[in-house]
Structure 1
Amino acid sequence: MKVAILTDGVYGDRAYNTIKSKFPCDFITVKYYGDFDEITISENTIEKLKDYDLFITYTLNPDLTYELVRKIKELNNKAFVLVGAWKGEGFKKQIESFGNAFCPYLMCDIDEDELKDYKDYLDNYPHLKEFLKYFGKPKVKLYIKNNKIEKIDVLREAPCGSTSETLKEFVGREFNDKTLIDIGLRVQHFCRAGKIRLFVEKEGKKTKAGKILVSGIQVIQIP
């Protein structure tokens, strides 16, 4: 399976560095000109859209994101698109109406349960299912010995790599009631999700990312 990170130059580098540890992965800066419904993607980029099984877009221009998903659907109907940057439920519905794309609230909040209402995605795009074995909603085993964190086993990593970056700091530390709270707070330092939008969101994405990581931790006591 081949993965491509599509960016307009700002985000996506950390996802690329994380995902390439498991799958062949390329980092593609999309060249385009124009705006609104007159966006034109460079021919060089369009050719590349034919070559991958899974795309993750970190394009901040919504018109560009729309055009990328549309082009991928047209040129490569076996490929799936995870939209890593988007705003607005209307835009989400518009993008997902193509049938080959999903807009997660957070990239670290995707697993098969999250996609249970999108069963066709998993049935029609087996490479998405393969991707979710290793990346998405964090799944971690925390091994405790003599009240200290002896070892950490990351079974599924957040695509941005924040799971491992956070937890490696806790190896050897004492484990107590506050440890999981500290982990949930620390991951926010590595999280690139946007700040809370006042009057729109009740909870910021960084806070949510912390809760997601903590909920995915299984604590195992070893003799």
Structure 2
Amino acid sequence: MKIAILTDGAYGDRAHETIKKKFPCDIIKVKYYGDFDEIVIDKEILNKLNDYDLFITYTLNPDLTYEIVKSINRKSFVLVGAWKGEGFKKQLESFGNVFCPNLMCEIDEEKLDKYVNKYPQLKEFLEYFGRPKINVILDNNKIIRKIEILREAPCGSTSKTLEEFIGKKFDDNLLLNIGLRVQHFCRAGKIRIFVEKEGKKTKAGKLLVEGITPLI
């Protein structure tokens, strides 16, 4: 399986560094010109899109995102990492091979159950990336001796956060600190006032803590 991360410049580098440890993964800066419904994507970029099984888009221009999704082969699957508005989300997902998560670190087989059987490359991806799933190995004094990351947030924040807590005592206070610390590494956007009751970084912290299983 080959994965492509599509960006217009600002985001995607950390996801690329993380995902390429498990799968062949390229980051592609999408060249284009024009605005609104007259956007034209560079032909060389369009030709490259035929080489991949799974795409993650971090393009901030919604018109560009739409043109990218429209151009991708329906046998490939697309995770849209940057989008705004429920109407735009429905428009993108109407293509059938697209999912727009609120957070890349909340996706798993259950959340994407309508897609995983049709797109085996997505199921393979979710074995390693998505909603964090971690075993924390403790000694008899509940000191963390080892971290086993079974599934990592695509941005790499899971491992970057937890490596700082090896050698520390596992308790409720430590879990609170983990949930706060991951927000430093999280690339999610700020809370959308009047739309979201909880900020995305706060949610990412909760998802990480919920994914931790202590083992002695």
1:177 shift after superposition: 2.0
Paired residue for 2:150, among 146, 155, 162?
A: 155
1:174 shift after superposition: 1.6
CA distance in 2, matches of 1:176, 1:70: 48
1:143 maps to what in 2? 137
CA distance in 2, matches of 1:78, 1:199: 37
How far does the alpha carbon of each residue in 1:39-72 deviate from its partner, in whole angstroms, 9 at most, with x for none? Answer: 0000010011110000000000001001100000
Structural mapping, 1:34-73, within 5 Å: 34-72=34-72
CA distance in 2, matches of 1:198, 1:98: 29
2:163 maps to what in 1? 168
CA distance in 2, matches of 1:157, 1:45: 29
Paired residue for 1:89, among 86, 90, 99?
A: 86
Q: Secondary structure at the match of 2:180?
A: helix
2:103 maps to what in 1? 106
Q: For 1:123, give the aligned amino acid.
A: N
* TM-score, normalised via structure 1 length: 0.95
1:77 shift after superposition: 2.5
Matched, 1:193 2:165: no
1:123 maps to what in 2? 117
Matched, 1:182 2:177: yes
2:17 maps to what in 1? 17
CA distance in 2, matches of 1:192, 1:177: 25
- The CA RMSD over aligned residues, in Å, is 0.7
Matched, 1:134 2:128: yes
CA distance in 2, matches of 1:85, 1:147: 39
Q: Secondary structure at the match of 1:111?
A: coil
Q: For 2:167, give the aligned amino acid.
A: G
Q: For 2:44, give the aligned amino acid.
A: N
% same residue: 72
Q: Secondary structure at the match of 1:50?
A: helix
CA distance in 2, matches of 1:150, 1:91: 45
CA distance in 1, matches of 2:74, 2:18: 26
Q: For 2:92, give the aligned amino acid.
A: I
| Displaced runs of 4 or more, over 3 A | none
